[in-house]
Amino acid sequence: MTAMKLVLCALLLVSSSSAQQPNADDFSSIEVKALMDAGLASFKEAHYDEAIASFTKATQLEPGNQKAHLYLGTTYAYQVIPNLETPENLHTASSALAEFDIVLKAHPKDLTAIRQEASVYRNIKQFDQAKALEKRAVAIDPHNMEALYTIGFINWIQAYKNAVTILATEGITDVGDGNPNLSRAGCDALIAKNKALVDEGIASLTQAIELKPDFDDAMQYLQLTYRRHADLQCGDPTGISADLKLVEEWSKKAMEARKEKEKNLVTRQPH
């Protein structure tokens, strides 16, 4: 089961277990409840058009039913293809965002809606909007390691793109070694573009690892971000060497964490 399906199923479990809490969904009609059940069943079977039809009808019958809007937004979001900028894909993304916006207008601190909306923005490469939402999630929950990781991941993407663009103006291909042949003017341009991104990325990824010591994905992007930090040393061999040492250390830690996870997974397999 994919991550998005797990999110949707988790939402159902949470809402079921908290049925004693009074909210708008407690007053759903029998027809709306049937539509919600049908939509969930269709979603789990990957019949997304049918799920959208059921959830849309539920929101039409009960516009204030935030759960229906959240499930509808999730179903649209699940169909957004990362990095595809066709009109159809962008329209699907827009439909998802509209539903999450409805939820967030009523419940500004709904972490599920915030992070799913951030994911949609990230998938259509609107990174600043995505990062702003992840920061909003961290402000609500400072221990949200996934949001912290995602901030670092986005910062690395932006810093890498900036580095490649500036290096290209001098005919340099990035090899992740601190690019010591970059001119002083080029380095100054890179510092202006990347210093804040790199510093924030390192801080966010480090915090994510502190919260989850075996977070191998965060370790991997931390070592990549230190490569971007090495660019900012402007050819200074001591500074570059220090950064590349951290690159090596975090690469090793990421590999070890990954191997440990794989070993534990094998150990847990039924014999």
Do residue 111 and residue 153 come from a single domain?
no
Do residue 15 and residue 95 come from a single domain?
yes
Of 17-26, 147-156, 204-213, 228-237, minimum mean pLDDT range: 17-26
State the average pLDDT over residues 34-57: 95
The pLDDT, as a whole number, for residue 16 is 38
- Domain membership flag for residue 59: yes
Backbone angles phi, psi at 172, to 5 degrees: -105, 135
The pLDDT, as a whole number, for residue 31 is 93
Do residue 128 and residue 165 come from a single domain?
no
pLDDT higher than threshold 70 for residue 21: no
Count up the domains in the chain and report the number: 2
pTM: 0.87
- Domain membership flag for residue 166: yes
Q: End of a domain among 140, 168, 194?
A: 140
The pLDDT, as a whole number, for residue 231 is 97
Do residue 22 and residue 107 come from a single domain?
yes
Do residue 98 and residue 33 come from a single domain?
yes
Do residue 169 and residue 241 come from a single domain?
yes
> Under a CB-based contact definition with an 8 Å cutoff, are residues 131 and 154 in contact?
yes
Backbone angles phi, psi at 146, to 5 degrees: -65, -40
- Domain membership flag for residue 269: no
Find the helix or strand (DSSP H, E) in which 227 lies: helix 216-231
Domain interval for residue 101: 3-140
- Domain membership flag for residue 270: no
Q: Output the DSSP codes for 55-119.
A: HHHHHHH-TT-HHHHHHHHHHHHHTPPTT---HHHHHHHHHHHHHHHHHHHH-TT-HHHHHHHHH
State the average pLDDT over residues 53-66: 96
Q: Using alpha carbons, list the distances in angstroms from residue 211 to 53, 142, 204.
A: 40, 10, 11
Q: End of a domain among 89, 122, 140?
A: 140
Q: Output the DSSP codes for 151-186.
A: HHHHHHHHHHHHHHHHHHTTT----SS--TTS-HHH
Rounded Cα distance, 121 and 93, in Å? 8
Classify the phi-psi angles of 135: left when phi > 0, otherwise alpha if psi is within -120 to 50, otherwise beta. Answer: alpha
Do residue 156 and residue 260 come from a single domain?
yes
Query: Could you report the per-residue pLDDT of 61-76, keeping only the tens digit for each?
Result: 999 999 999 999 999 9
Do residue 247 and residue 182 come from a single domain?
yes
Query: Could you report the per-residue pLDDT of 75-101, keeping only the tens digit for each?
Result: 999 999 999 999 999 999 999 999 999
- Domain membership flag for residue 159: yes
The pLDDT, as a whole number, for residue 24 is 44
Do residue 105 and residue 228 come from a single domain?
no
| Residue 10 token pair | 């988790």
Rounded Cα distance, 255 and 257, in Å? 5
pLDDT higher than threshold 80 for residue 147: yes
Q: End of a domain among 98, 124, 140?
A: 140
> Under a CB-based contact definition with an 8 Å cutoff, are residues 225 and 198 in contact?
yes
Do residue 243 and residue 203 come from a single domain?
yes
> Under a CB-based contact definition with an 8 Å cutoff, are residues 93 and 79 in contact?
no
Q: Which amino acid is at 165?
A: T
Do residue 201 and residue 260 come from a single domain?
yes
- Domain membership flag for residue 271: no
- Domain membership flag for residue 117: yes
The pLDDT, as a whole number, for residue 264 is 81
| Residue 180 token pair | 């010591």
Q: Using alpha carbons, list the distances in angstroms from residue 47 to 52, 79, 112, 228, 245.
A: 9, 11, 22, 43, 49
Do residue 175 and residue 250 come from a single domain?
yes
- Domain membership flag for residue 257: yes
